[in-house]
Structure 1
Amino acid sequence: MDLHAEIKGSGRPIILIHGSGTDLREWVFIVPYLQKTCRVIAYDMRGSGKSPSPAGPMDHVKDLQMVMDDLHLTKAIIVGHSRGGQVACDFALADPSRIDKLILISPNLTGYTYSSEYENWLSKIVSAKNNIPLVTDLILQGKHHTVVAASRHYAFLKEMVFHYVKKTLTEWKSYEMHWPEPPAILRLKEMKPPTLFIQGTREFEDMYQIKEHYSQIPSIESILIPKADSMTTLTHPEEIAENILAFMQ
């Protein structure tokens, strides 16, 4: 396996997939709770953290399969945040037999069409081109970072985002991503694994529209965390860990 991964603890296997712009370090405050009873596997997605940058089109779903295969895991609990949640969802639809339980934290959704507000935010980021500090700042100015921006974890998040932006702008050879077809947005009613959906109350409106789509999953529980944005993994780690452990039982 060419992806960087860290494994701690023993017990039921649980795989943590980080969100856009970060790396496996975003789970640093959650892992200590989980590793007491679980074998916790966190990995850097391709193009992030210590994993190699893409030389061609990326397939994050196949990468997750590779992680499980290389660790000889026939089944695991999968936790995904943001884009990591999108990966987890698509993988669960593609191969539900390998998912024990599915936990999605403010996930993206394959096939969803984003609003003009969201697209305008992305356009500002793209227009900054190769200005790494400016791109970093524009990402962090997103509506889904308002709570973490006022927290003691802001500097840590900014360091992760800066590292990600620098890597994408100086190392990536391709920005293309392959996702399974048909897109997940059309298949959520087919989802088989029990699913937990966690979300904060201060995010882009698109994320609440996405939540409505995920509500089609037959066996889903939803938890809303007050006064939290997308980065609950940093600002509310104990609460996230407690909900994960409770759902596992």
Structure 2
Amino acid sequence: MALSSENVVFLRRLAAKQNAYVAISIAIIRQFGRSDMSFERSGIHASRDLPQVTATPDRPSRPGVIPQPKGNPMSRKLTLAAATLAALCAFGPAMAADEVNVVPGLTAAGAPLGLHGADPVALLDQGTNVEGVAAQTAIHDGVSYYFASEANRMTFEANPARYVVQNGGFCTFGVSVNKKFDGDPNFAAVVNDKLYVFLSEEIYQAFLKDKDGTIAKAAENWKSIQHTAATDL
């Protein structure tokens, strides 16, 4: 039985909060999708890493073999998955669906990429859209950001709240009408020292006709749609 795409997305979001979550999440997916856990493929050596089971008349001693409880195998796997998810949740809060506009998949830092890899410091302080590099990565609230230089990365890390794009990196005009459209850093605006992005040139031009009104509507709407998946709006 395979995990649903919704659960996979949830696990990836959860993994973004801490690098250790990634390995645990993958273990859940692998375990849930097959009948047996392969200790060799998971890097566990039975003779070295697993406990020695004491021999009894009905259970001979074999190194690294854990007696399996009776019952439905699928029920045992569901119990294992549920227990592991509970442990994951205990580590810390998970990011809800589409709180931040990120690129699918994870970066080498173990978190999804925000702002399409553009350097937020360059956008806000210099008014230029510069592509960042993976070698200069900072993670904030479970999201990776790329920077064009070490100086920009350090500037961001000193005050991330100032540089994080507004409305989760979604199109500000879209949020003003209760939608989560993609935010393209090629169409960005800095208003009152805050960074906003937009879906397209046409949408950006529409924003310019009523900047203050659009920003105010987006700020109000974001409170109610922040934790809602884009496909549910």
Higher relative contact order (CA 8 A, sep 6+): 1
**By the TM > 0.5 criterion, same fold?**
no
**Greater Cα radius of gyration, structure 1 or 2:** 2
- Give TM-score, length-normalised by structure 1: 0.23
- Give TM-score, length-normalised by structure 2: 0.24
Q: Point out the structure with the larger strand share.
A: 1
